[in-house]
Amino acid sequence: MGKTSWGALFGLGCFSSHRDHASDDSRPPRPAPLPNDDGLKTGNGVTPSPEDLSVSLAGSGVEAFTVDELQTATRDFSTSNFVGEGGFGPVYKGYVDERLKPGVRAQAVAVKLLDLEGSQGHKEWLAEVVLLGQLRHPHLVKLIGYCCEDEHRLLVYEFMARGSLEKHLYKRYTASLSWSTRLKIAIGAAKGLAFLHDAAKPIIYRDFKTSNILLDSDYLAKLSDFGLAKDGPDGDETHVSTRVMGTQGYAAPEYIMTGSSNNEERCV
């Protein structure tokens, strides 16, 4: 596993990953290419249809939901089920089971709706479906399903009972986290990043911040919101160049200045 510096862990941007090539066989699997920065296209130049997604995600356990099903799951997106809102759009708590859709395990979920007038769009939605539909790790939030119906784009995740780390650090009404809990969260987030960076096809997260670190009931940390994620250097490539993305104050200074990330310093 790559070595992770404490600076990266607390939001300073990059960490060194010195690979042991003798252990390549233990790396996470190679995910499909993510949508590029310049449009809504995948590697073959065509935006995938809902049918294409269903085929490509076959066997992944990710469900294709309809708008009607997700309306039922969230009680018609009731304000009492409203959890919060980010750059992608509003998030609602819901509940899915076999009565809603045969074969679906009964569980609480978080349903995120794409705001058609927001800062993110189909490309970011597609990046999340492609990435989280293929990768599984204890410190990545689990994608339960998605919806691609007409202009509607929704994502369905496991529900994280304690919300974001940001809420616990900056909201006055929440109890202060103990140092042992803070350390547990920091190590969990670092393990999630290390998993992405050490994949057979490395992934650059590009949006590592407290609002994107979600906590379950036991304060297990999971990375969320992969709409800005990008494929990292591959094979003999030493770096990738990209439009600078992410949140000001969290991205590494060298990445902000150059728009480049290499194999030794992975911009998270």
Q: How many CA atoms lie within 13 A of 229 on its CB side?
A: 27
Residue 97, CB half-sphere, CA atoms under 13 Å: how many?
A: 5
- Kindly name the residue from 198, 207, 225, 231 that is annotated as catalytic: 207
Spatial separation of the C-alpha atoms in residues 197 and 185, rounded to whole Å: 19
Active site residue 207: yes
DSSP string, 211-250: GGEEE-TT--EEE---TT-EE---TT--EEE----S-TTT
Per DSSP, helices labelled H in the chain are 6-9, 50-56, 67-73, 122-132, 165-170, 179-197, 253-258
The closest of 267, 233, 232, 138 to 191, measured between CA atoms, is: 138
- Which residue numbers are catalytic? 207
